[in-house]
Each structure stands twice: as C-alpha cells, then as structure tokens.
Chain A
C-alpha cells in the first residue's frame, strides 16, 4: 500500500478519535452533559468563556482528564509495543516483557505501602494531592529500575543480545511479581491498602487530574520524536543484524533508541494508569495485519490507533456496562483475550511463519 492511502487512514483515525473524545465527555461518572454544555465547559478550561456551575464543571473536568489520560496511555502502550515487536522481530513482544509493567507495579505498591491505603485512595484536598504524584513517581522509578536491571543483565561487552533480554525480562518480572505478592500477603489485614494496590494492579482511569495528562502526553511526545530515527532502520533489521549493518544501519543505536523510547513511554503510561494489558500487544498486531509491516507507517498509526483503541474501549464500557463497573485492565483482558484468539485464528498461516 502506498503512503497516500496511509495518510487517508491516519486522517480518518484522527477524526474518529476526536469524535470519540468529545462523545466521551457525555458519559461517565456524575450527571449527564449535553454537547453544548460540555463544549462550553471545555472552552472555559483554556480561558475562553465562563465556567459551568461548580458541580457540572467538576464532572466535566474529571471526564476530560479521564479521556485524555486514556488517549495518551493507549497511544503510549501501542507505540511501545510496536517498537519492541520491531526490535525483537517477534509479534509477541509487549511492554510487559522487559519489566516495565511489573517494575511499575512494584514501585506503586511500595509507595502505597509507605503512604498507607487511605491516603493512596483519596484524591481530595490537602495531603491527597501529594499521594498520586508520589505513587506515580515511584511507579515510574520502579519501571526504570526494572528495565535498567534487565538491560544490564542482558548486556555483555556493551552489546545486548535480544534473547538474553527476553529471558532476563521474564526473570525480573518474576522477581517483581513475587515481591509484590509478598507485600500484598503481609497487608492482608489492611483492607484499604490492599484495595489501593489491587486497583493499581488492574489499571484505573478514575480520579485523573491534569498532572496525569501532562505526564503521559509529555512522555508520549518525547517517544514520538524517536520514530523518524528508528522506523526505516527497524524495517531493515527484519533481515537480521548483519544484513542491516551491511546496508549501513547503526544497529546498536537503533536498538538502544527503540528499546529506550519503548520503556520510557510505557513506564509513563503504567505510572499514570496502572497495568492495562493487551493494548501494547494487540494494537500493533491489528494494524500490522491491516496496513503492512513498514514501520514508517506502522509506528505513527499505532500512536493514533492505541489512543483510539483505549478511548473506544472505555467509551463502550461506560455506555454498556455502566460507570466504572470494571477496571480498564480487566475489561481489556476480558475483551482483548478472545479478540486476540480470533485474530490469531484468522492469521494462522502468517503467524506460523514467525
């Protein structure tokens, strides 16, 4: 497929995303909002026009941060998955495999443990403002530490072998998972604490603020900057290390950039919203099936597609199941698992050749 049709696809996806973003303001926790009111409230946020009545305005803002967070998180996870699948030349790679998710979970659990469950769950006035920032930072740090350990263990004489990276990733995931399970076991008596960790583990888009949006979108923006420097290179890496180097690709730099960016954006996403499974796996897979393997198209489309996917899933859930009955991570796994199986069955032939 030539690049012009990709521009059309990208435009369509962007338009659809915009519609969904606006539509999402009408659903969710709190009173329902009609379109005109919602737009008026949204305009007031950027200094145009007056605010709505306090309760409506609060509802609107909460929904706005929620949906913007969802878009950023979806985009970050999908971009991360696409980058990692490209580097590993394996359609089963996702942010989870290099320790990003488990490291972030452990970091968050430690922060929640330090704060106490009550403080962690509240986002009210006073001390509550500090808690989400602290948990987020701790999660991000946990992610960074886990990935660093994985990469350091996998590196030998300055070169990182990809199978070693996958294996050490599995090992570090096990370590982090074990530690987190231990924390949860020891705090079985503390319902609040357990609830907070549990909520975080399955991902949540509730109680988001402008801060969350800034963190995930900021990280995403940095991650997107990497795309021009790795897209063609990842295509050429498909033929193997030697082959790509023979063509003039600096394979070490390409891998470092791609893995670094993937870890960074995924860490931000997980730090903001907890573990949301499947987006990083399924979105690149889906888009690759539809539009081909070329990373020059795939990576930008994944940014759009990931946002669209998570915002769409959230919207669907809020419309059908109702307000926040299921955590997005749970919902994603429940819907994503069977969906993935169907996808695999349809692409069985192609899948076998990996």
Chain B
C-alpha cells in the first residue's frame, strides 16, 4: 500500500514569510483525504511540496518511506500525479496529445508513444467523458471540460498518488459531484487521493479524512463531524454559517453540511 508522509514540514516563499509551519500529514492508498482551510492558509503551497515541486526549508516528504527529494523527476512523476488548478492557458495541441503528456515519465526520450501509452490515454479520455473530442484543440474546451482534461492527463500518468488542487471551482453542481465521484473511484481502486478544496460540503461527503489547515498549521484532523464542528468553523470562518447534518446508509455517523448564511444585524468581525 502506497504512502505519502510529510514530517515537520516548513515551507516559505523565497525571502518571504513562512507559509507552512510544521505540518505532519499522512496519505495512504485507498483513502480520499481532503485538505480544507481559509484563503491563504497555505493549502496549495503544501500540495506543491507534497508533489515534490517545492523544496522544503526543513522537514521532509516521504513516499513509501523514501525521501521525495532523492527521487528523479521521472520516478517522482510515476508515483505522484498532480492535477493543477485550472488557470493555465491551454493552447495549440489536440486533447489526445495533451493527455499523452501524462505518459512522459513512462516513455523513453524521443521514443514514439507505445501501444500501452495510447491505450492509457484513450482510457483516461473515456473516463473523463472526452473521447468524442479527442482530436479537437484544447483551446476550444469550456472551463468544465478543461478541468476534466486535466484530470484525464493525471489519470494517464498512472501514479498511485493523486494530488488534486481545487478541482471544482469552475464547475456546476452536477459536475462537482461528478469530479468527486471520479476521485472516490480512484481511492476505491487503491490510490491515495489528496484534494485541496474550499468546498466544505464536498469534503464532508466524500473524504475519509479531513485536514483543516489554518495559517500554515493543521488546526484539526479527522472525520468530517469532528473537523467541521460548529465551534471550530465559527472560530475560523466567523459566525455567518448555517450548519446542518445529513445521514446516509454508507456513513457510520451523520456528516455536516455548511452554507454561507448572513445572520441578521451588523456583520461580525
């Protein structure tokens, strides 16, 4: 079973203040873990470091017990796939070629894509429901389709760890659920999935475990009901929240849902 661990991780932007201040975190294969927290808490920075894209100032990241910093770029990419937050200007290639980029770590330099590469790409496109558009150019996609394309590329990468940054920001409610269904499937298939999200409700419904990151530190970790408790949320997001609970047969205990809800009277600080 694959594991990704952060040990006493400290991260800072070059010359800037520390953004992540001593985070311990563990992601195991078969689990969907959500990382939530207010804007500027350091979620994306932490995700980048966990993917090996950002050197840590102190502390380390371990993949199956091996220090991430000692792996080659290709070895790292075979184990960890990252789904970036949509926002890059995709341009110039077909959907197929874009997703083929996910196979880079598995291909020899200059080698033409193997049959397996092509099969994986087609399977990933099918998974993202983009098969019909495989020869279209990426700039013709809508925001939601681009998000699915990025997911497809990460799936083609065939890594055991999937790190996903804010995947539902541009999506309608049906597609939000669709994305988390896919992520849950990946976890069900034995992959470790870590998703950074602002959407507390999706985290509550889908995550096996939630980490709440505040000002670079893990404020709370555990089951949805414990982490997204009214008292904790009020402290972090303020009192203007409407919090309820829902039950489902697949859950041992009810899980909270949270709505931004302006209370009467002057806004509280």
Contact = CB atoms under 8 A, between A and B. Distances in A.
Interface of A: 3, 157, 228-229, 231-232, 235-236, 238-240, 242-243, 245-250, 292-294, 296, 353
Given A243-B84, A246-B81, A248-B77, A238 B91 contact: yes
B249 to A, nearest CB: 38
B110 A232 contact: yes
A246 B109 contact: no
B110 A228 contact: yes
Contacts of A3: 112
B56 interface: no
Interface stretch (B22-30, B96-104, B204-212, B254-262): B96-104
B105 interface: yes
A7 to B, nearest CB: 12
Contacts, number: 64
B90 interface: yes
Contacts of A157: 14
Contacts of A235: 93, 97, 101
Contacts of A247: 77, 101-102, 104-105, 157
Interface residues of B, number: 32
B110 A248 contact: no
A263 to B, nearest CB: 22
Contacts of A353: 89, 91, 139
A248 B91 contact: no
Given A228-B110, A245-B53, A294-B97, A250 B91 contact: no
Contacts of B51: 246
A243 B104 CA distance: 12
B76 interface: yes
A236 B110 contact: no
Interface string B43-71: 00000100111000000000000000000
Contacts of A238: 91-93
A236 B101 contact: yes
A75 B97 CA distance: 27
14 contacts: A157-B14, A229-B109, A232-B107, A235-B93, A235-B97, A235-B101, A242-B48, A246-B77, A246-B80, A246-B82, A247-B77, A247-B157, A248-B77, A294-B97
